Structure 1
């Protein structure tokens, strides 16, 4: 995840979030589940019945806005010399059937405004790998329960560890067996994950974020 992918600003009781790159979920907002993003992609690709598959763009990406993912950003053919497509090799590599000339993934960031209220305790920013094993509500519940039990602990680390336990259990192996697998090979069991939990109540945890 690009560290500059998401930016958030708290001004008084207003939370402003700029989302871009591999950061689909901020306080339960965003991601391909969001109806407006699904409608946008389907409207831009009316002839592609597989533009959204299993809650992922072309069945591959959970995010709908990103710096990368060039193989889902086919530019208009008229803008290229001699009509060549710049990402033909990537399309072939990923075996995606690109229909139309509009991009599936947008480079434009999404700007969100949220008015904070006393119930808002924390902000979770994460890459989409976290939601391979968690729902939005599960993330919130796990962080809340962890904060109550371990006020000085690191909720981001807790989410990462719980994800690894779930990935190991799904693969039918022990937690430590999964950790012994080299990072590159572990992609078979879980995606790369970055998690940051920010307190909106002034708490300072031992670390501000975790990744694997």
Structure 2
């Protein structure tokens, strides 16, 4: 009887083991580190990893693959997970809807998808404010990459970052940053804010050695943060963290993404899209050199671990000790980290049809299902 039950249990466990190996490979020593070590997309392979620091993870992310296109999204929330979760649930679907209506993907299509997502989240805030007043202070940075018809589209709000690994002379790898960090710590961003608000002397304020918009928030563009965009979402002034120097008369944050289109070139080898939790601890060049000098399988997990090791070193502790720190408390040592590495195999760019699974993968939550990207096949 016992051996019979054992055989049944073993048979049931085998597929679970295979699934666990796919997503948790070698991460048993750190339950807050998730990875999909390798997957296929329309013109190559990708690797995906997420490390949790907050009590409720605020980084949401997705990879959508199809035969004709690839979509990658990194959504770094702040103030809670509501906005980043909303973006994960709606931005891609808006993109697909608008692309179907227009018959193409373009910079305008992407901007319209962002606008629809912003409008939808602000409507959600309006509905939820009575039961959850501080949802008006929840927002999300948003970084997406799309590969379609030999071109790369990158759209960005906030300070997540896209970096291309390009092969230069003597086969040396060179980092090319494709996005500007929409962060008040960047002089170009402060100049932009001052030019847009010439009558507001408090549009950027140096507070405790950190530049912040209105002395409150570092990012200058986001989805959400409704109280910094519309007077109707003003937060009770008794909450000092979100108190404005004067009543809001016009938006101080923007939800319009910076969008670029780039024809993929032979020396473009891979793309790293990551939340600022990674870039806080690794430079662009360090990241591309790690990717270039190690196997593809598990490379996103390797980058996340390198960032965690550096976070531990800065606090004069061992990584083995950091990984024992529980979520929530770990936020004092590092932020949530999302990193997706997208390899570009140029021989696939010239093929008319590639056998690629049409799936949707959501970071950290182990959610996998069919993707809507097949609607682009006939465009």
* C-alpha contact (below 8 Å) 1:160/1:210 kept by paired residues: no
* C-alpha contact (below 8 Å) 2:143/2:156 kept by paired residues: yes
Instruction: Give the number of equivalent residue pairs.
Output: 195
SS in 1 for 2:180: coil
Does the alignment pair 1:160 with 2:304?
Answer: yes
Shift of 1:23: 5.6
Of the three residues 220, 223, 232, the one matched with 1:64 is 220
Map 1:110-189; keep pairs closer than 5 Å: 110-146=258-294, 150=295, 152-189=296-333
Instruction: Specify the alignment match of 2:152 in structure 1.
Output: 15
Say which one has the larger Rg.
Answer: 2
Which moved further from structure 2: 22-31 or 49-58?
49-58
Which of 1 and 2 has higher RCO (CA within 8 Å, sep 6+)? 2
SS in 2 for 1:32: coil
Does the alignment pair 1:40 with 2:192?
Answer: yes
- State how far apart, in whole Å, the 2-side matches of 1:57 and 1:193 are: 22
RMSD: 3.4
- State how far apart, in whole Å, the 1-side matches of 2:218 and 2:291 are: 22
**1:126-148 Cα distance to aligned partner (Å, 9 max, x none):** 111112112222222222222xx
- State how far apart, in whole Å, the 2-side matches of 1:99 and 1:119 are: 51
**Distance of aligned partners of 1:32 and 1:67 in 2 relative to their CA distance in 1, 3 Å threshold:** closer
Shift of 1:56: 5.5
- State how far apart, in whole Å, the 2-side matches of 1:192 and 1:24 are: 12
Unpaired runs of 5+ residues, structure 2, are: 1-58, 62-87, 89-141, 164-176, 349-355, 365-379
Shift of 1:43: 1.7
* C-alpha contact (below 8 Å) 2:190/2:204 kept by paired residues: no
Shift of 1:99: 8.4
Of the three residues 188, 192, 196, the one matched with 2:336 is 192
Query: Of Structure 1 and Structure 2, which has the larger fraction of its residues in strand?
Result: 2
**1:162-207 Cα distance to aligned partner (Å, 9 max, x none):** 0111011111111111111111011111111111111112799xxx
Which moved further from structure 2: 39-48 or 132-141?
39-48
**Distance of aligned partners of 1:134 and 1:200 in 2 relative to their CA distance in 1, 3 Å threshold:** same
TM-score, with structure 1 as normaliser:
0.73
**1:52-108 Cα distance to aligned partner (Å, 9 max, x none):** 77785447756432224445x242x4xx4xxxx613459622566568644343222
